[in-house]
């Protein structure tokens, strides 16, 4: 199979996936604003967020983590060296294994949920009402794992074929389905928080079904919809499991760290809710940049390496790193001074109080410190996965988890949920450093002097952006003090963000870090 695209094609794919992810995240914010008004940060909110994180963790580990990182390189290799029919047969065998595993896991989880949840929310055990609600909500939400895992499998096939649109657009349907459920709930005004949480969980399931239907249609149109048959073992399937088992840890490391934080945070009232809302905010740039780059880079690297195109593979990784830092560092820098007004404008209404705003903003700052590292992990890990090495990132992931748990336990007694956010960020930076050093020692990762210079300029310009935003916030502070209306606050924040973006990209262009014409050209259609 011929290599697809080039430097311009890679950038266009980043932009296409990133644009769809941006739309999804915007709708996700609408969803979260409605959810904050419905649930707030009370007992029912804590129960729902704990319940939803449970299938989400397994989704990231077994689907997006293990399946994609193990499957995409093998599928790309089969496409390059054996052709479409062999690749289709491989996909059918592996997806059949995935389906049997998911059905078995879902049945066992539903039966033993009261026992399974106990280690994950130990702080809830002293409140039987809260714990029982969490178990009920988790039982409702858990089938979401099966829908999303199959969606991830089909997305992996589409991405390896160079078709990124359907899989990037699918999360939009989850947010639309949630909004369709939430708006009538707000209009009707359900008095019971527990009943509200149940309907929110049902909305999540509806969105999961919609996503799966979309990617199923797309993979059928590509003539690659897998045939389901009773699983059997052959050399390729054995190789898949050899790669997938360590990738269970590696692919979902961020979610593991966040879930560890959830376990520890269950000891404090509302801490899980604060972390959830802060997580949703920093996930916006992480989703647009990190997920877009990770989605495109792994199949791109895999195709080049399996086809013996090492120069093109290095160029793809270098360009991914530059774009990642170009877009991530200013986002992290902006979150620090603007955390409080952002949370206030998006969430502070209904059951979401000013105290919740302050607590969530503090957690957001803690996560923002690690935002570049979260994205860098997604840039660096494909360098291992594309070479069918999932063991090394697994070891580093384990080290990262140990750091996260240790720091969380140390910081939580004094800093509470903010300590958990800081620990998650430190663990991400440790993981990033280990990945980069190892790739460099193996000769798979090196930057030229000009590239280092560009990275240094990005850091400097981002620091200037943070200082400028901090100065503006000092001047505009009274606007956000509560004496002015929502629309004026939104206007001031919006103008501040747009002015900061304009200044940042102007300096990026003038210093030669990245000419804006190159970025804008990525939006043009490929002929």
**pLDDT < 50 regions, the chain:** 1-6, 522-527
Whole-prediction pTM value? 0.66
pLDDT of residue 121: 82
pLDDT of residue 292: 65
The Cα 522–Cα 14 span in angstroms is 9
**CB distance 68 to 167 below 8 Å:** no
**CB distance 58 to 145 below 8 Å:** yes
Residue 357 CA, distance from chain mean position: 23
pLDDT of residue 482: 64
Q: Hey, what are 312's tokens?
A: 């093109």
What burial letters (b/e) apply to 231-267, b meaning 16+ CB within 10 Å?
eeeeebbeebeebbebbbbbbbbbbbbbbbbbbbbbe
The Cα 403–Cα 389 span in angstroms is 23
Instruction: Report which secondary-structure segment, H or E, holds 124.
Output: none
In sequence order, what DSSP letters do the residues of 197-233 get, joined into one string?
Answer: HHHHHHHHHHHHHHHHHHHHHHHHHTT-PPPP-----
pLDDT of residue 178: 87
Q: Hey, what are 372's tokens?
A: 């570049």
The Cα 364–Cα 377 span in angstroms is 19
Helix/strand/coil for 83: coil
The Cβ of residue 225 has, within 10 Å, a number of other Cβ atoms equal to 18
The alpha helices in 82-164, defined as continuous H runs, are 84-116, 128-141, 143-160
Q: Hey, what are 334's tokens?
A: 């902006």
**CB distance 381 to 435 below 8 Å:** yes
- The string of pLDDT tens digits covering residues 363-374 is 999 999 999 998
pLDDT of residue 523: 47
**CB distance 39 to 272 below 8 Å:** no
pLDDT of residue 18: 67
């Amino acid at each position: 199979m011929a290599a697809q695209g080039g430097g311009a094609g890679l950038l266009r794919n980043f932009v296409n996936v990133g644009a769809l992810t941006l739309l999804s995240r915007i709708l996700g914010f609408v969803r979260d604003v409605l959810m904050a008004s419905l649930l707030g940060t009370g007992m029912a909110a804590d129960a729902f967020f704990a319940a939803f994180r449970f299938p989400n963790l397994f989704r990231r580990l077994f689907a997006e983590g293990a399946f994609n990182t193990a499957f995409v390189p093998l599928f790309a290799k089969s496409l390059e060296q054996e052709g479409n029919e062999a690749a289709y047969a491989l996909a059918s065998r592996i997806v059949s294994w995935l389906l049997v595993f998911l059905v078995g896991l879902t049945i066992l989880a539903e039966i033993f949920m009261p026992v399974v949840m106990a280690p994950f929310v130990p702080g809830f055990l002293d409140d039987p009402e809260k714990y029982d609600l969490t178990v009920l909500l988790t039982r409702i939400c858990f089938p979401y794992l099966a829908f999303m895992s199959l969606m991830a499998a089909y997305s992996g096939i589409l991405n390896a074929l160079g078709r990124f649109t359907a899989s990037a657009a699918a999360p939009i349907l989850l947010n639309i389905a949630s909004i369709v459920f939430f708006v009538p709930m707000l209009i009707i005004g359900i008095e019971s928080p527990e009943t509200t949480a149940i309907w929110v969980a049902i909305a999540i399931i509806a969105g999961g079904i919609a996503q799966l239907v979309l990617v199923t249609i797309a993979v059928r149109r590509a003539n690659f919809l897998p045939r389901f048959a009773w699983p059997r073992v052959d050399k390729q399937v054995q190789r898949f499991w050899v790669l997938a088992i360590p990738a269970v840890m590696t692919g979902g490391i961020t979610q593991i760290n966040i879930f560890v934080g959830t376990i520890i945070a269950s000891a404090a009232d509302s801490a899980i809710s604060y972390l959830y809302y802060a997580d949703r905010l920093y996930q916006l740039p992480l989703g647009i940049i990190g997920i877009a780059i990770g989605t495109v880079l792994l199949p791109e690297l895999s195709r080049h390496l399996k086809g013996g195109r090492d120069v093109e593979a290095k160029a793809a990784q270098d360009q991914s790193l530059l774009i990642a830092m170009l877009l991530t560092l200013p986002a992290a820098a902006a979150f620090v001074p603007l955390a409080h007004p952002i949370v206030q404008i998006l969430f502070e209404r209904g059951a979401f109080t000013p105290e919740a705003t302050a607590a969530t903003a503090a957690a957001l700052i803690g996560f923002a410190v690690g935002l570049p590292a979260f994205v860098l992990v997604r840039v660096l890990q494909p360098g291992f996965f594309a070479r069918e090495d999932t063991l090394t990132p697994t070891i580093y992931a384990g080290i990262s988890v140990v750091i996260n748990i240790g720091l969380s336990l140390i910081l939580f007694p004094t800093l509470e949920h903010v300590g958990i956010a800081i620990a998650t960020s430190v663990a991400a930076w440790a993981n990033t450093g280990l990945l980069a050093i190892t790739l460099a020692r193996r000769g798979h990762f090196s930057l030229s002097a000009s590239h280092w210079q560009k990275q240094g300029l990005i850091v400097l310009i981002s620091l200037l952006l943070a200082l400028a935003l901090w100065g503006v916030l000092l001047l505009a502070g009274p606007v956000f003090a509560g004496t002015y209306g929502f629309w004026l606050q939104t206007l001031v924040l919006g103008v501040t963000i747009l002015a900061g973006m304009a200044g940042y990209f102007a300096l990026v262009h003038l210093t030669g870090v990245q000419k804006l014409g190159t970025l804008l050209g990525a939006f043009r259609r490929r002929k």
